[in-house]
Amino acid sequence: MIQLSIDGRNINAREGTPLVDVAHENGVYIPTLCYQKGKPCLGTCRVCTVKVGSAVVAGCTVPVAHGMQVEVNTPELVDMRKSLIESLFAEGTHNCPSCEKSGRCDLQAVGIELGMMVSRFEYRFTPRDKDYSAQRIMLERDRCIFCQRCVEWVRDEETGQKIFSIQGRGAQARIEINAELADKMSAEQVREAARLCPVGTIIDKSLGYNEPIGQRKYDLKSVREHALAGEQP
């Protein structure tokens, strides 16, 4: 066990545990999107930005060590994390009221948790074609936040090949699906891929709006409550 401080409070933790997990275990909420507990961190979204000493870092990428001094809830860091969420809403097209993932969407839930009402950035609504090529999966590409969860963790069960990939760069970047491999996925794998996507990009064609408003994941418990209970995301 080692000792570190978070926002001036001394905390005991197991050395090497991801900082976001230690914070959540001790009642300090740090928002995340690409991170999934128990899996290697991707560090792509930076929504878990905190300060360790004088360095601004992604909390999911930092294993805790003895003597670490961590700042999470300073006004500057709170606003920095909020601005990252606002930039994601400005970059893609997120029409929450009509989205199949609404009420179960991590981006929407974190936006609500951070008190976002509008984006301070100009909305771009970057147009990206939908992809219907796979039999059981549809891609609503303009919602993708390029977290890479699907790229890293959805694999062909026989060969281990990646089923999703990101092609292009900058404004031309888009998520692609290998339809041949996707058509070999079991119904359960398809559901898991749709669940894994933190927004409504990966859609299971066999399901739609199947959870009534009031009973969806984030209707029942906020993203903060999920995180502090160790259930995130």
Binding site for ligand SF4 (CB under 6 A): 144-151, 164, 175, 196-199, 201-202
CB–CB of 193/147 below 8 Å? no
What is the Cα–Cα distance from 8 to 43, expressed in whole angstroms?
25
Smaller CB distance to ligand SF4: residue 102 or 201? 201
Tokens linked to 152: 């890293």
Q: Measured from the CB atom, is 151 or 185 closer to ligand SF4?
A: 151
CB of 222 to ligand SF4, least distance (A): 21
Measured from the CB atom, the residue of 85 and 197 that comes closer to ligand SF4 is 197
Query: Is residue 121 helix, strand or coil?
Result: coil
Of the candidates 46, 23, 190, 200, the residue with the CA atom closest to the CA atom of residue 108: 200
Nearer to ligand SF4, 30 or 151 (CB): 151
Q: How far is the CB of 24 from ligand SF4 (least distance, A)?
A: 21
Q: Report how far Cα 122 is from the mean position of its chain's Cα atoms.
A: 22
CB of 193 to ligand SF4, least distance (A): 8
Length of the chain: 233
Nearer to ligand SF4, 111 or 198 (CB): 198
Distances (CA, A) of 214 to 47, 127, 137, 138, 225: 27, 31, 26, 25, 16
Query: SS3 sequence, 22-54?
Result: HHHHCCCCCCCCCCCCCCCCCCCCCCCEEEECC
Closest CB 203 distance from ligand SF4, rounded Å: 10
Instruction: Give the shortest CB-181-to-ligand SF4 separation in angstroms.
Output: 15
